[in-house]
Structure 1
Amino acid sequence: MCGISGYISKSHKFDLKALKAINKKLNHRGPDEEGYFVHQNVGLGHKRLSIIDLQSGQQPMKNDTEDLVITYNGELYNYKNIRQTLISKGVLFKTTSDTEVILKAYEYYGNNCVKHFRGMFAFAILNITKQELFMARDHLGIKPLVYYNDIDTFAWASEISALRETTDFKADIDYYAIDQYLKFQYIPAPRSIYRKVKKLMPGHFMVVGFDGTVKNIKKYWDLKFSPKRKTKQQWLNKLEHSLKTSVAMHTLSDVEFGAFLSGGIDSTLIVKYMTEYLGSGIRTYTIGFKDSQVNETHFAEQVVARYETDHTSVTLDGDALEILPLLVKHYGEPFGDFSAIPTFYVSELASKDVKMVLSGDGADEAFAGYGHYPLWLKKINRHQPNNVFKNNIVASLYPLANKLYPKRYPKLAKPTDKLSNYLRYRSRMDDRSREQLWQAPYKFLIDLHDEIEFLYGEDYREQSEFSRSQYFDIKVFMPSDILTKVDIASMINSLEVRTPITDKTLFELAATIPSELLLKQKNGRWQGKHLLKQLLVKDFDKAFIERKKQGFEIPLEQWLFTGTNFEAIKKRFQAPNGILRQLFEPLVLQQLLDEKNGFKVWLLLVLDEWFMQNG
């Protein structure tokens, strides 16, 4: 795993020291090596964490004619197949690295090279002959790529915090992005906390001229839901084969590696297939927290016993305020998913032994594992007219409801075809709560048209009612929350995390599985990931398989609202010159403290800490 950076000086005053300053902020992503390449007003920087081809994978890497230069972050799991295909077409290689495969694939296929890749990647290629920069991000958004565009500079990097080192960086705050953060607990791509910083969206590439002009931003891949009819056993066979193949591909490494093991269905499947492929003794890592109401470590112990792993487990006291400054520093913008805390700690634990781990992220999105999927379907069905007469009356009210009461009475709006209604359903802080929270000058933010509706609304409507909720979570929630959380929390510890389930081919397969095989009702309760669970029935008992899904919970309220921590939080919320009092209503802030609303208090704490570090 690596960190990449670079910039184009539009004024043709390139400064290598400035590039090195940007790159230095990525030290944790690549502590093994660093490299630079400069051509006139354009430069590339690279930080390397060596996982494959330890001796000959140095970057930036040039092609034979030295008119193409690449820096790359990620792993290309089908690079050997692509390499053989290119060799058969007469292409010559000097190394065995996947970096050179990407470079030669671009040289041969041009911009369409990304359509051949299977893996996680973010890369930048300088095409000196064409005088342009080609950048791309993987299909599902596993690896990040952000860029800054101003009158004098076009810069890019793996992390937002690195871009702040750009010469004359203009830190103009995007307050609409803050409202999105309060709504979702993260800032959805392509926005960031800064007006001039954008995130390249998953499944997209962009072309920038050496003069800094953005020539093209194009989507090269999208997920299409198209259920196919097969027997349950046929699906199980196909799914197991695909999972085994993906896990095997993701274990390709020249260094020691292991796996995160929460004890849940997803991480258990990863360990199961790692063991089948590599044998017993896989290194696994689990953490728990004292006083946590949810603790799955006993399930992890069952997995350890079943597959005979080399297991490390620790139980931590934890302190949200203690870890807060470090997390805020590296996420680079407000990021409110508090499961970043356990993700950081389990990454820290694993990094003491290995440089790479596998995890089970992506299964909930691909195979409908979240509890909100059946709840959303229930909500939709409650709104469905059950006769023609009712249908005509209700249908006639939809336009009026949308026009007169789009925010106050969302239940009156048609829920089945508008992404905006699902966005309300998935919001962590609803419109009314945010309107009460913001001070008067900022309340207008609530009524701005949701950018996500503009970006994804049409594609959302093309999906089936069941698939629509999955589509949003895969395109927006997963890359901007789940994958961002894992990437940053692990990279702080110089640990590469690979996600065999978050794989283009597996997601394309999952999109063809009928909904009745994803969700099943048992004992009056809907359960997701039905097929995945069936793959474990021979190894574990009913209690293990059919338990209710648990998130990676921490005792947040206890950490925040006891002892000296609560006093410190009160001081932040009540500071007369603090950012919280500048933006939000003091009475509402006090009400959140009085109610001891852990989630909302955490969101505002993260925001306050970010402004303290960057304001």
Structure 2
Amino acid sequence: MCGVYLTNAIDSNGPDEKFLSRGPDHYQKYEFGDIKMSHCLLSLTGKFTPQPIEKNGIYMMFNGQIYNYDSSIHPSDGYFILDEYLNKGLNFWKNLDGEYSIVIYDSTKNIVLFCTDIFGTKPLYYSNDKDSISVASLITTLKNNSKPVVKCKPNTMYLFDLNTKKLQITENYYKFELTQNIDSFDTWNEKFIKSVDKRFSKLNHDIVLPLSSGHDSGAIACALEILGISFYSHSIYRHEHVKILSKRILRRLWNSPTKTRFRKDLQNIKQREKLLQDIKKNCDPFFYGPEIDSLDIDGQEDPGAIGLYYILESAKKSNSNIKIVASSQGGDEIYSSSQKYTFDKPNPSKFDQNLSDIFPWQNFFYGTQISYLSKEESIGGSFGLETRYPFLDKYLVQEYLNLSPSLKNKSWKSPLTNFLDTYKYPYKTGTKISGFNP
């Protein structure tokens, strides 16, 4: 997890402690005339690369990870992004495979460009008036500027012209293909394993997986086992299917006894109050809602947020080398035909031949997707952890969209159910898990 901040506002106060906690390895600040750029770094792969980085008058900083850069050509993924911009201009995103938020100051054109990835896994916020633009990873950083703060839309490109002071917004820069012509889960299985592999293999740091009795975390645990990737797991039994979770934990205890943690619940009132206080003190505010302009429900008191904070705090205390979280986010929002947690527009209950009539459903980009991603990122970032999302891999999501309606409708979370069946990983047939509420 890194933090990015750019501004040309005169009254900027700059990053605070919440910002700096996101990137504990290095903090760097530069000023280029009226432009100020700050970056705090969590260094995970490639050469240690303080940001912003510069080439030919282009200054770039980002948060996240690019999985398809060639380390024999580029010392780190940041240089790959920079070269893609130099070669492709505004189409620089086309060859990026990863989870990211990017901020570019192009001094040759006097523009500021910023965007998140397709699903907005690494949030960005901005404030803009007639003369200035400010962009940051955190709400709190921009609230210091006393201007309205706006969350960046996923799959959207923002371009601010420093000469004209105009902000141009281009939505849906990435287009999914909606033909439903694939009649086998085999390629989905392959792409899911590849999605887990690219995110969690060959790392110098340790991984933690919040493991429940549900399909989503179970599929990730199963894929990690298939790939032989070591990981820590933390589980809380309350509201879980006891028999299924116990089977999963027994597998863990047999293979990785020192990396397996579990407990009954988090129902001690004093402990919950302490966890909630710590969330409010250490985490950037995060909000839930059905659409980008109606994120007005405070997410900090969500029981799932309290449970996640406890798990990540415990993980860091047990092993300071844990730097990466394997998140199940997106499993419900993309692959479920019966999404329990939703706002005013639930997931499609059944797919027919005309996918374009229902795509994108609310939770695909917004709703619980954008809501819960903000929770994952705010809490993970407060511990200097990077959260990665194998279910939101663009190639995996595309494969799901291309499955025939009969395969999508075959069972609850049909590709995940098939995956767990194929690799004989324990799950409860036909059960819709009630959600993480420890």
User: Partners of 2:251 and 2:33 in 1: how far apart?
Assistant: 59
Gaps (5+ residues) in structure 2?
Answer: 288-297, 348-353
User: Partners of 2:28 and 2:387 in 1: how far apart?
Assistant: 23
Say which of 14, 22, 26 aligns to 2:19: 26
Matched, 1:221 2:166: no
Per the alignment, in what secondary structure is the counterpart of residue 206 of structure 1?
A: strand
1:437-476 deviations in Å (ceiling 9; x for gaps): xxxxxxxxxxxxxxxxxxxxxxxxx8456x44x6211121
Residue type of the alignment partner of 2:417: K
User: Partners of 1:29 and 1:318 in 2: how far apart?
Assistant: 29
User: Partners of 1:206 and 1:541 in 2: how far apart?
Assistant: 43
Asked if the contact 1:8–1:212 (Cα under 8 Å) also holds between the matched residues in 2, the reply is no
Asked if the contact 1:368–1:519 (Cα under 8 Å) also holds between the matched residues in 2, the reply is no
Per the alignment, in what secondary structure is the counterpart of residue 148 of structure 1?
A: strand
User: Partners of 2:126 and 2:5 in 1: how far apart?
Assistant: 9
User: Partners of 1:541 and 1:4 in 2: how far apart?
Assistant: 40
Matched, 1:498 2:388: yes
Aligned partner of 1:4 in structure 2 is 4
Aligned partner of 2:293 in structure 1 is none
Q: How does 1:19-98 map to 2 (within 5 A)?
A: 21-22=14-15, 24-53=17-46, 55-63=47-55, 65=56, 67-80=57-70, 95-98=74-77
Matched, 1:534 2:400: no
Per the alignment, in what secondary structure is the counterpart of residue 140 of structure 1?
A: coil
Say which of 327, 343, 362 aligns to 1:472: 362
User: Partners of 1:25 and 1:214 in 2: how far apart?
Assistant: 30
Q: Answer 1 or 2: which has greater strand percent.
A: 2
Matched, 1:347 2:299: no
User: Partners of 2:276 and 2:164 in 1: how far apart?
Assistant: 36
Asked if the contact 2:327–2:389 (Cα under 8 Å) also holds between the matched residues in 1, the reply is yes
User: Partners of 1:306 and 1:236 in 2: how far apart?
Assistant: 26
1:454-507 deviations in Å (ceiling 9; x for gaps): xxxxxxxx8456x44x62111212442121111112112222111111111111
Matched, 1:124 2:92: no
Provide closer, same or farther for how the CA distance between residues 324 and 156 of structure 1 changes in structure 2, counting only shifts above 3 A: same
User: Partners of 1:360 and 1:543 in 2: how far apart?
Assistant: 15
Say which of 175, 178, 185 aligns to 1:236: 185
Instruction: Give the Å deviation of 1:36.
Output: 1.1
Aligned partner of 1:262 in structure 2 is 212
Residue type of the alignment partner of 2:327: S
Per the alignment, in what secondary structure is the counterpart of residue 176 of structure 2?
A: coil
Aligned partner of 1:360 in structure 2 is 328
Instruction: Give the Å deviation of 1:50.
Output: 1.6
User: Partners of 1:165 and 1:212 in 2: how far apart?
Assistant: 25
Gaps (5+ residues) in structure 1?
Answer: 85-92, 171-195, 374-421, 428-461, 521-526, 555-615
Asked if the contact 1:265–1:545 (Cα under 8 Å) also holds between the matched residues in 2, the reply is no
Instruction: Give the Å deviation of 1:364.
Output: 1.6
Instruction: Give the Å deviation of 1:23.
Output: 5.1
Instruction: Give the Å deviation of 1:249.
Output: 0.4
| Normalised TM-score (structure 2) | 0.84
Matched, 1:511 2:395: no
Aligned partner of 1:204 in structure 2 is 156
Per the alignment, in what secondary structure is the counterpart of residue 75 of structure 1?
A: strand
Asked if the contact 2:3–2:23 (Cα under 8 Å) also holds between the matched residues in 1, the reply is yes
1:264-305 deviations in Å (ceiling 9; x for gaps): 2111111111122135x43222234xxx4x134653332243
User: Partners of 1:125 and 1:543 in 2: how far apart?
Assistant: 45
Asked if the contact 1:122–1:137 (Cα under 8 Å) also holds between the matched residues in 2, the reply is yes
Per the alignment, in what secondary structure is the counterpart of residue 248 of structure 1?
A: helix
Provide closer, same or farther for how the CA distance between residues 296 and 534 of structure 1 changes in structure 2, counting only shifts above 3 A: same
Q: How does 1:538-577 map to 2 (within 5 A)?
A: 538-540=422-424, 544-554=428-438
User: Partners of 2:337 and 2:65 in 1: how far apart?
Assistant: 26
Asked if the contact 2:210–2:234 (Cα under 8 Å) also holds between the matched residues in 1, the reply is yes
- Aligned sequence identity (%): 24
Larger Rg: 1
Provide closer, same or farther for how the CA distance between residues 206 and 32 of structure 1 changes in structure 2, counting only shifts above 3 A: same
Q: How does 1:66-465 map to 2 (within 5 A)?
A: 67-80=57-70, 95-166=74-145, 169-170=146-147, 196-211=148-163, 213-219=165-171, 220-230=173-183, 235-252=184-201, 253-278=203-228, 281-288=230-237, 292=238, 294-296=239-241, 298-306=243-251, 308-309=255-256, 310-315=259-264, 316-319=266-269, 320-328=272-280, 330-332=283-285, 334=287, 335-336=298-299, 337-352=302-317, 353=319, 354-368=322-336, 370-371=338-339, 424-425=344-345, 463-464=355-356
1:391-446 deviations in Å (ceiling 9; x for gaps): xxxxxxxxxxxxxxxxxxxxxxxxxxxxxxx964559xxxxxxxxxxxxxxxxxxx
Residue type of the alignment partner of 1:244: I
Instruction: Give the Å deviation of 1:347.
Output: 1.7
Aligned partner of 1:412 in structure 2 is none
Per the alignment, in what secondary structure is the counterpart of residue 180 of structure 2?
A: coil
Instruction: Give the Å deviation of 1:239.
Output: 1.0
1:142-171 deviations in Å (ceiling 9; x for gaps): 1100001134532111011111222xx14x
Residue type of the alignment partner of 1:228: N
User: Partners of 1:48 and 1:545 in 2: how far apart?
Assistant: 43
Asked if the contact 2:206–2:231 (Cα under 8 Å) also holds between the matched residues in 1, the reply is no
Asked if the contact 1:360–1:501 (Cα under 8 Å) also holds between the matched residues in 2, the reply is yes
Provide closer, same or farther for how the CA distance between residues 27 and 318 of structure 1 changes in structure 2, counting only shifts above 3 A: farther
| Normalised TM-score (structure 1) | 0.61
